[in-house]
Amino acid sequence: MSRKRQPHFAALFIAIAFSTGPVAADEVLEEIIVTADFRERRAAELSPSVKVLDDTAIEERAVQHFEELIASVPNLNWSGDGHRARYFQIRGVGELEQYEGAPNPSVGFLIDDIDFSGIGTIATLFDIEQIEVLRGPQGTRFGANALAGLIYVQSREPSAG
C-alpha cells in the first residue's frame, strides 16, 4: 500500500510548489512611512530602531490611552504620578514619578508636532493615525530634549470629502 502512494504525494508536492510562485510575485507589500525624522522615510531606511503603531493596532486593542499600548513596544516603559502615564523611559532612560521638571526631558513626546515632553498624561488615542517610537538619541532632531528617544504621535489628516 505504501509503495502505491509515493507517486501520488510527489505529484501533489510539485503542484503546490508551482502554483504558489506566480501569486507571490504579484503581491505589493504595504510600506510604513515614518515622519518623525527629518524626511518622511520608509521604516526600513531609518537608522534608529523604530516601532510604528498604526490605527489598526490601536483599534484592535481597543485601548484608550497610550500607556495601554506601551507593552507592545520593546524597551519602552512608563511611570506616572497618579492615574495616567506621565513620564516615559526608553531603554531605561527617562524621568520617573513625581519628577519636578528639568530643562531637557530625556524622552521627547510630540502630538501633531506640539511638544509635550515630560507631560504625557494627555495621550489619549481617539482618532490617532500613527504612533512612532524612535529608540536612541535624536539629538540632531530635537537637541537635548530627546536623549533617550522620541515618541511621535499623529492624529488623522483631514480628508477631501
Partner 1 sequence: MTNVPAASAYRPAATVARGCRFRARRAAAGEDLPRFRVVRTASRSGRFSRQRVSLTRTTPITRREETTLRGKTATGRPDQRTGTCVTLAGLYADIDDGYDAFAIDNSLTMRSDKPGRDAQESVGASLRADWHASERVDVRRPLRSAADSTIDFSFDADWGNDDFWAPFTYDFTTVSDRERRTASQELRLASGPAGRLFGDRADWLVGVYVQRLEDLVTTRNEGIYVDPGSGFNAVDRRPAGQRFRGAQHGGVRPARHRRRRRRTDYVRPARRAPGYRLHGFGRAGARARGIDAGRRTRVPARVRRRPVGLRRAVERLQSRRLQSRWCRKGAASSGRRPCGTWSSACARRGWTTRCC
Residues that bind partner 1 (CB under 8 A): 28-33, 35, 38-42, 45, 52, 54-56, 64, 80-84, 86, 98, 100-103, 111-119, 121-122, 124, 126-127, 130, 141-143, 145, 154-161
Closest approach, Cβ 86 to partner 1, in A, equals: 8
Cβ proximity to partner 1, 22 vs 92, nearer residue = 22
Q: CA 109, CA 150: separation in Å to the nearest integer?
A: 6
Instruction: Name the E strands within the chain.
Output: 33-34, 41-42, 49-54, 76-79, 87-90, 93-94, 107-111, 114-115, 128-135, 149-155
Closest approach, Cβ 44 to partner 1, in A, equals: 9
CA–CA–CA angle 44, 107, 53 (5° rounding) = 40
User: Residue 135 carries which side chain, given as an amino acid letter?
Assistant: R
CA-to-CA dists, residue 63 to 13, 51, 85, 94, 125, angstroms: 44, 18, 14, 24, 7
Cβ proximity to partner 1, 66 vs 148, nearer residue = 66
Of 87, 122, 117, residue with least CA distance to 103:
117
Closest approach, Cβ 101 to partner 1, in A, equals: 4
Cβ proximity to partner 1, 1 vs 44, nearer residue = 44
Cβ proximity to partner 1, 53 vs 70, nearer residue = 53
Cβ proximity to partner 1, 9 vs 38, nearer residue = 38
CA-to-CA dists, residue 47 to 13, 77, 91, angstroms: 42, 22, 16
Closest approach, Cβ 70 to partner 1, in A, equals: 17
Closest approach, Cβ 34 to partner 1, in A, equals: 10
